[in-house]
Amino acid sequence: MSGDTLAVACFGQPGSYSDQAMQSYFAGRAAAASYCDHFEDVTAAVAEGRARYGVVPIENSSTGGITEVYDLIRRYDCAVVGEKCIRIEHHLLGLPGARLEDIRTVYSHPQGFAQSGDFFRAHPGWEKVPYFSTSKSAEKVAADGRKDEAAVAGRLAADLYGLSVLAPSIQTNRRNFTRFFIIAPSMETDETADKITLIIAVHHTPGALYHVLGYFFYGGMNMTHLESRPMDGHPFEYFFHIDVMGRLDDPSNAHTLSGLASMCPYFRILGNYASDKGGVL
């Protein structure tokens, strides 16, 4: 990598959790971010060469896989070159001087509501309005200037948009993490890589997935995640997005994967990159 500035397409806005993941992943490298309102803007920017890298959330430890992103990565043929885990801490943000009892309407990304279910069940009278992202919700509340509006977002967004924390740490689960993928047009790997992400389809026969997992088990490759995604146009058939620990240049792992590839009607390795625990353990 040269000293040139890296063009990075980042989901969300300045101050978002994605922004935090990007800043953390590219710390110490000269990266120029363009922020995108939609997941598809990120995958398109990467696939069409307008960005060198993209940053998208792929999985939350409370609400699960972000299925739209799985489908976009597959559809735009992106590679995965890294991951970053970020601890999510949601706050209810409002105008300075606003009180909790002033609030009538709350904006957030749907995941912000889903991850703060207990808090909102205690405030059934509020209208919950789904919005583009947590940080964009904070920006809207600041721009609207109404004391009856609030946003669910992180502290970085509060600082950036000059909002007050009306209720801190409202997420239901204290141990709430989001995992982000760093995507690129093609694979990049180095000596730190210890995790492989791949997508397969299996033949429509009994035990097909069982035999797939047997390759990993007998090959000593520990599977850390399995996500089934529908195969559009083939009702109730599935792609499987799989993460396993391993290295493509390890002869044993390579043997396992080539055996697996021979039995799958669809087999694609998305990347081999350094895993990130992000303080989860």
Residues forming the site for a copy of itself (CB under 8 A): 59-65, 67-68, 110, 114, 130, 172-173, 175-177, 179, 206-207, 209-211, 213-214, 216-217, 220, 222-230, 232-236, 238, 280
If the CB atoms of residues 96 and 235 are measured against a copy of itself, the closer one turns out to be 235
Count CB neighbours of 173 within 10 A: 15
- The CA distance from 13 to 23, in Å, is 12
The least distance separating a copy of itself from the CB of residue 228, rounded to whole angstroms, comes to 6
If the CB atoms of residues 123 and 225 are measured against a copy of itself, the closer one turns out to be 225
Alpha carbon 278 to its chain's center: 14
Task: Name the DSSP letter for residue 100.
Answer: G
If the CB atoms of residues 35 and 70 are measured against a copy of itself, the closer one turns out to be 70
If the CB atoms of residues 209 and 254 are measured against a copy of itself, the closer one turns out to be 209
Count CB neighbours of 82 within 10 A: 23
Of 164, 182, 5, 168, residue with least CA distance to 80: 182
If the CB atoms of residues 52 and 179 are measured against a copy of itself, the closer one turns out to be 179
The least distance separating a copy of itself from the CB of residue 1, rounded to whole angstroms, comes to 29
The least distance separating a copy of itself from the CB of residue 121, rounded to whole angstroms, comes to 9
The least distance separating a copy of itself from the CB of residue 66, rounded to whole angstroms, comes to 10
- The CA distance from 25 to 27, in Å, is 6
- The CA distance from 276 to 179, in Å, is 9
Of 176, 154, 172, residue with least CA distance to 163: 154
The least distance separating a copy of itself from the CB of residue 50, rounded to whole angstroms, comes to 17
Q: Where are the alpha helices (DSSP H) in 56-109?
A: 67-75
- The answer to whether 244 touches 216, Cβ cutoff 8 Å, is yes
Q: What is the side-by-side strand order in the sheet with 223-230?
A: 223-230, 238-245, 195-201, 266-273
Contacts of 160 (CB under 8 A, 6+ apart): 14, 15, 135, 138
The least distance separating a copy of itself from the CB of residue 135, rounded to whole angstroms, comes to 18
The least distance separating a copy of itself from the CB of residue 15, rounded to whole angstroms, comes to 22
If the CB atoms of residues 113 and 161 are measured against a copy of itself, the closer one turns out to be 113
- The CA distance from 154 to 209, in Å, is 39
Structure tokens at 265: 């009607």
If the CB atoms of residues 28 and 235 are measured against a copy of itself, the closer one turns out to be 235
The least distance separating a copy of itself from the CB of residue 213, rounded to whole angstroms, comes to 4
If the CB atoms of residues 52 and 136 are measured against a copy of itself, the closer one turns out to be 136
